[in-house]
Amino acid sequence: MMGLALHQGASWTKPAVTPILGLIMTLSLLGISSSIFRDFKKLLLPISLSLVLNYVVLSGTFIGLSSLIVLEDELWIGFVLVAAVPAAVGVIPFSYHLSGNTNLSLVGTAATYLAALVITPLISMLLLGVNLIDPVRLLIILAELIIGPFILSRILRRTGIATTLERFRGAIVNWGFFLVIYTVIGLNRDVFLGEPATLLRLSIVAFASTFILAYLINRVSKLLNVDKPDRISLALLGTRKNYGLAAAVALTFFNSRVAAPTAVASAFAVIHFIWLTFRVKKMD
């Protein structure tokens, strides 16, 4: 709401989006131990499931539906960027709050970020071409927002500073996400308030990629006798993207309108999480 009512400040916070995301990523990665992939054989199945759900099922939903429904090239590009990025870092705390399998969420999220170093440039260049996306520049952004934060988080863990930061981490991450979402919504205020037809198309894609996809993942995994905590984590891994990272790439290579899908998708992700807090108790 603030991005719609006080949108003027979005132009001031726009240059800070990438640094803020770097800070968010660093703090979010503090909870991931470097030894997470030590016993790789046992992790092969959860890693494979996470990559398939996030990069095949979810990315395919974004690309396929937007190709059919979204009529404007800039907005379609926005969904391609969303499809190209890894899972949201929020998958891990969301799994905890919803009583999911946090270990599965942790392994799955980490796997998507490692894979993103190859998959994100690959999807971007295959669908958008090197004329729109400079691969070298994109790799620099990924280094700033994935590799750099990971290395810094390892340093903070080893020096013990991570323990001191732990009590402030939640507040900093929440305020960081607020500024990113505020910026993207503020820059796209006209889409939200003045283009109902466009907003409806974006909302259909966002709704399908959260509510409908989560329902389908849960039903299929239940038929396969997957435990409830695992189903919750799989549903989150199959419906959440790092919208902040997609927004940063959109604002770096294109313009604020290309970032509009990330704003709408973020809003639906929040609504879906709130809905899940009530729905998950009734899951059998």
Helix (H, G, I), strand (E, B) or coil at 157: helix
Q: In the predicted model, is pLDDT for residue 240 greater than 90?
A: yes
pTM: 0.85
Query: Would you say how long the chain is, in residues?
Result: 284
Q: What is the number of other CB atoms lying within 10 angstroms of the CB of residue 280?
A: 17
User: What percent of the chain has pLDDT above 90?
Assistant: 34
More reliable by pLDDT, 158 or 86: 86
Give the lowest-confidence range in 76-90, 175-189, 227-241.
Answer: 175-189
Closest CA to 128 of 58, 63, 49: 63
Q: In the predicted model, is pLDDT for residue 1 greater than 60?
A: no
Closest CA to 234 of 81, 108, 143: 108
Residue 59 corresponds to which amino acid?
Answer: S
Helix (H, G, I), strand (E, B) or coil at 70: coil
What is the mean predicted confidence (pLDDT) over 129-147? 81
Model confidence band, residue 3 (pLDDT cutoffs 50, 70, 90) = very low
- Provide the mean pLDDT of the chain: 84
User: What percent of the chain has pLDDT above 70?
Assistant: 90
Closest CA to 210 of 92, 106, 82, 114: 82
- All structural domains of the chain, each given as residue ranges with its CATH number in brackets, are 2-282 (1.20.1530.20)
**Is residue 87 a contact partner of residue 112, using CB atoms and an 8 Å limit?**
yes
